[in-house]
A and B are shown apart, each in its own frame.
Chain A
């Protein structure tokens, strides 16, 4: 059974940084990229980007360039997403996600439980 367990809720002031951690059970992420998706309160889902298992490749959505860093540690089956220069509109639930990608199929099959990040002065 695949399980992704994320770190707890955070409250941050505007301009601060936050790091959200995600720990995968077993070898569920071995050899696979880790993706991050966020969801503002009462809103839809927004894909943020991914990082490769060995941190040698990553792709971020353009709107987050310069503010987000995603890293991996395969020795501990963990991944982190750090967002800097926080703004009030960064208030959201952040999910780490496993993506399955084959020649024919491409989907997000396992999601962490989510981490609420609240940005407020």
Chain B
């Protein structure tokens, strides 16, 4: 199985900050990497697919990059509604594994 290592596990930041979350795959997954945002009590919501494609309706302050084994999600200017948990997920090979998540909290 492909292991997804996400870091940091938690992050404190302020509104307006630029933040980056990283995700590393245990083997090359091409660009088959997706990012999800999850708010408390809600289902995950797709933000970025195929490493860098912005899902329809997602604000442009979210961006993704990377290929192979190393990926990142960047939020250019944090908004109050961005404080949530974020998960990476590889869709290269079944089982489709997720990172353990990053909890983004208000500083």
Name A residues whose Cβ lies closer than 8 Å to a Cβ of B.
44-47, 59, 61-62, 95, 101, 104-109, 111-114
B interface residues, how many (CB within 8 angstroms): 23
B53 to chain A, nearest CB (A): 7
Q: Chain B: interface secondary structure?
A: loop
Q: Considering only CB atoms, which chain B residue lies closest to A59 in the complex?
A: B94
Q: Which of B80-107 contact A (CB under 8 A)?
A: 87, 89, 91-92, 94-101
**Most A CB within 10 A of own CB, among B43, B49, B95:** B43
Q: Are A107 and B43 in contact (CB under 8 A)?
A: no
> What are the 10 closest A-B residue pairs judged by CB atoms, nearest first?
A106-B91, A111-B43, A107-B49, A45-B98, A107-B34, A47-B96, A44-B100, A105-B50, A61-B95, A44-B101
Quick one: which of B46, B95, B98 contacts A109, CB cutoff 8 A? B46
Q: Are A107 and B95 in contact (CB under 8 A)?
A: no
